[in-house]
């Protein structure tokens, strides 16, 4: 395994681990903690996801550099493109809607729950599957 492939694998699985830990463990559990109000949960969530998305963006850039240095093959490249594309959609389209909704809720607005959360979660699932698939493809040496 080349240095670029080893780096790609490490960045891929670190990114996957962060998505799984934050999006699928921390985010849902914080609202079940005692005395955590909706406002506190939203405030924590905004900070945590802003930081997560910043780190994810860094991983995406590092992965692109590793792919450029040593292209891993079409299947792996496509799965990485899917993960990076899902992140881009989240950052450009879904997060701004979620931010506007959480701003309104924190300002005291009432109303139906945001459906944008469903889009965000669906993109997290797509991203997690793509990252897992890309990592396995690189580790097993399957590079079609």
User: Over the stretch 77-99, which tens digit does the pLDDT of each residue have?
Assistant: 999 999 999 999 999 999 999 99
Spans of all domains in the chain: 3-140
SS3 at position 19: helix
Summarize pLDDT for 17-27 with one digit per residue, the tens: 999 999 999 98
Confidence (pTM): 0.92
DSSP 63-130: HHHHHHHS---HHHHHHHHHHHHHHHHIIIIIHHHHHHHHHHHHTT---PPPTHHHHHHHHHHHHHHH
| Closest to 104 (Cα-Cα) out of 40, 44, 39 | 39
């Amino acid at each position: 395994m080349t240095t670029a492939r080893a780096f790609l694998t490490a960045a891929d699985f670190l990114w996957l681990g962060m998505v799984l830990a934050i999006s699928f463990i921390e985010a849902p559990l914080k609202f079940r903690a005692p005395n955590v109000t909706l406002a506190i949960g939203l405030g924590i969530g905004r900070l945590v996801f802003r930081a997560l998305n910043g780190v994810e963006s860094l991983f995406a850039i590092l992965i692109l550099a590793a792919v450029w240095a040593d292209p891993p093959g079409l299947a792996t490249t496509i799965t990485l493109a899917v993960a990076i594309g899902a992140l881009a959609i989240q950052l450009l389209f879904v997060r701004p809607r979620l931010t506007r909704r959480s701003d309104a809720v924190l300002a005291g607005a009432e109303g139906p729950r945001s459906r944008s959360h469903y889009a965000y979660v669906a993109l997290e699932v797509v991203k997690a599957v793509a990252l897992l698939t890309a990592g396995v493809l690189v580790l097993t040496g399957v590079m079609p």
